[in-house]
């Protein structure tokens, strides 16, 4: 059985922390699908097309990485694409508490899909898309927090 993993998120925008997690996860799986979640209750700063285009540029030389937008339950999308793992990045203990609750719910909904947690490299632990968006909104420079492919 192929080890197919889904890394779901809004990636609004993708940060160097996200890239770090993805690059470290790629060797663990046969295929890593970056799922850009479309959440009706969130108003993103960047369109799904912008976010997926950035990621396609960033990972264009990695054949095991695929990028796609999706809507609905993450476990349903996993079933649709044949993913048997969900990848989540952890920066702080508070992230773990939140992510564990989601992982437990997902396990109840789809017992055959395992959630894998990777901790963020210390260099990127303070970076979040929320903070990056705040800096952008206020005219600040975010080049040190996002990959060069992220343009706005």
Domain ranges for the chain, please list them: 4-137
Q: How far apart are CA 72 and CA 56, in angstroms?
A: 22
Q: What is the pLDDT of residues 106-148, one digit of tens each?
A: 999 999 999 999 999 999 999 999 999 999 999 999 999 999 9
| Predicted pLDDT at 130 | 94
Asked: is 4-137 a CATH 3.40.50.620 domain? The reply is yes
Alpha helices in 3-121 (DSSP H): 16-25, 48-58, 74-81, 93-109
| Predicted pLDDT at 1 | 87
Order of strands across the sheet that contains 65-71: 65-71, 31-38, 4-9, 85-90, 114-119
- pLDDT confidence tier of residue 39, bands split at 50, 70 and 90: confident
Strands 31-38 and 85-90 turn out to be unpaired
Contacts of 92 (CB under 8 A, 6+ apart): 125
For residue 137, the surrounding DSSP H or E stretch is helix 129-137
Residues tagged active-site: 18, 42, 91, 129
* Global confidence as pTM: 0.95
């Amino acid at each position: 059985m192929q080890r197919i993993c889904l890394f779901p998120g809004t990636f609004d925008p993708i940060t160097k922390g996200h890239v770090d997690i993805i690059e470290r996860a790629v060797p663990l799986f046969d295929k890593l699908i970056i799922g850009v979640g479309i959440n009706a209750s969130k108003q993103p700063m960047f369109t799904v097309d912008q976010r997926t285009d950035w990621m396609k540029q960033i990972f264009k030389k990695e054949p095991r990485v695929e990028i796609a937008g999706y809507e609905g339950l993450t476990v349903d999308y996993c079933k649709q694409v044949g993913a048997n793992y969900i990848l989540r990045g952890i920066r702080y203990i508070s992230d773990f508490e939140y992510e564990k609750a989601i992982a437990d719910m997902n396990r109840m909904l789809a017992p055959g899909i395992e959630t894998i947690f990777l901790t963020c490299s210390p260099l990127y632990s303070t970076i979040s898309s929320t903070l990056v968006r705040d800096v952008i909104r206020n005219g600040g420079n975010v080049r040190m927090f996002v990959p060069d492919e992220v343009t706005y």
